[in-house]
Amino acid sequence: MKFAIQVNEGPYQHQATDSAYQFTKAALEAGHEIMRVFFYHDGVNNGTNLTTPPQDDRNVVNRWSELAKQHDLDMVVCVAAAQRRGIVDEGEMQRNGKDAQNIAEGFRISGLGQLIEAGIQSERLVVFGD
């Protein structure tokens, strides 16, 4: 099965991203395809490399980055939602005159068209959030 995943909530505040991660990992291990993971609303906060959770807790951001590396996952952060919430890559930094970037490894910033395309091209779009 060809899945697309949408994550609508940020890390730690909400378990949606944990569930999305577990689902994605399990689907990949079962031999399914994850064609894209799209981060929207506060979900874009999963893509910052500035988080420092306590050492005895899971590292939500690094966990996504590692999974992406292992499986060559396409993890997309919505640009409009990211601009509102301060998730910045090299291009956004230059375009908007910021003095820093914080996009975590394995994530890329792109448009909402990537979400619509995921809905069209996947067999199932699975949404995590309330």
What residues line the site for other proteins (CB under 8 A)? 6, 40-41, 80-81, 111-113, 115-117, 119-120, 125, 127, 129
The residue among 127, 106, 34, 114 whose CA lies nearest residue 81 is 114
The answer to whether 96 and 85 have CB atoms below 8 angstroms apart is no
Find the shortest distance in angstroms from Cβ 44 to other proteins: 10
Q: Which CB sits closer to other proteins, 28 or 112?
A: 112
Q: Which CB sits closer to other proteins, 67 or 87?
A: 87
| Residues with catalytic roles | 78
Find the shortest distance in angstroms from Cβ 12 to other proteins: 18
Conformational region of residue 40, where left means phi above 0, alpha means psi within -120 to 50, and beta covers everything else: beta
Find the shortest distance in angstroms from Cβ 117 to other proteins: 8
Conformational region of residue 33, where left means phi above 0, alpha means psi within -120 to 50, and beta covers everything else: beta
Instruction: Match 């619509």 to its residue by tokens.
Output: 116
Q: Which CB sits closer to other proteins, 67 or 78?
A: 78
Q: What is the rounded CA–CA span in Å between residue 61 and residue 11? A: 8
